[in-house]
Structure 1
Amino acid sequence: MEIMQVVSDLVCSKRVVGFNNASLRVLKDLKGKQLVATDPVGVSPGEWVFTASGSAARIAMKDMKMITDLTICGIIDDWYE
């Protein structure tokens, strides 16, 4: 799992079947790298989240047929470094 910040929504008018109607978000990791994740939680830009990657990302989407390798699992309210 990783901590990331939501940068923006990602809108795609055409998708492959495996993405269904999943919400997509652009995320930024702690090093500034941008990635795209599926969002079953419903987060807004600016929020900090924790993510699952790899096969755990599909499990987090509750659909093993979902084509994703990064999923938002929760919104972070606070953390201590």
Structure 2
Amino acid sequence: MKIYKVDKTLVSTNRIAMMEHKPLLVVREKDGGTPQVAVDPVGCKPGDWVICCGSSAARDATGVKGYPSDLTIVGIIDKWEVPQDADTTS
């Protein structure tokens, strides 16, 4: 698992049927980092720090074994001391 910051919502109206209507969010490991798309089954908002899992664990975390995800948010971090060397400007 890794810690990411939610950047923004990703809108995608045309999806394969298996993706259902689960929300998609753009997340980054740090500000200015490479954006990645994560499935959000927990209800995050931009600015939240979250815990994500990847690979087959990401598919399992959606609740559907065959779900096409390789990054899924599994928790919102309530309190976390951001490391001094982390760039947290938005």
User: TM-score range, shorter-chain basis?
Assistant: over 0.9
The count of corresponding residues between Structure 1 and Structure 2 is 81
Q: CA RMSD in A?
A: 1.2
Q: Which runs of 5+ in 1 are unaligned?
A: none
After superposition, residues 2-81 of structure 1 pair within 5 angstroms as 2-30=2-30, 32-80=33-81, 81=83
Identity across aligned pairs (percent)? 41
When normalised by structure 2's length, the TM-score is: 0.84
Where do 4+ consecutive residues of structure 1 move more than 2 Å?
A: none
When normalised by structure 1's length, the TM-score is: 0.93
| Residue type at the aligned position of 2:49 | W
Q: Which runs of 5+ in 2 are unaligned?
A: 84-90
Q: Alpha-carbon deviations, 1:12-56, whole Å to 9, x = none?
A: 110012211111000011371110000000000000001000000
- Higher relative strand content: 1
Larger radius of gyration: 2
In structure 1, how many angstroms separate the alpha carbons of the residues matched to 2:27 and 2:80? Answer: 18
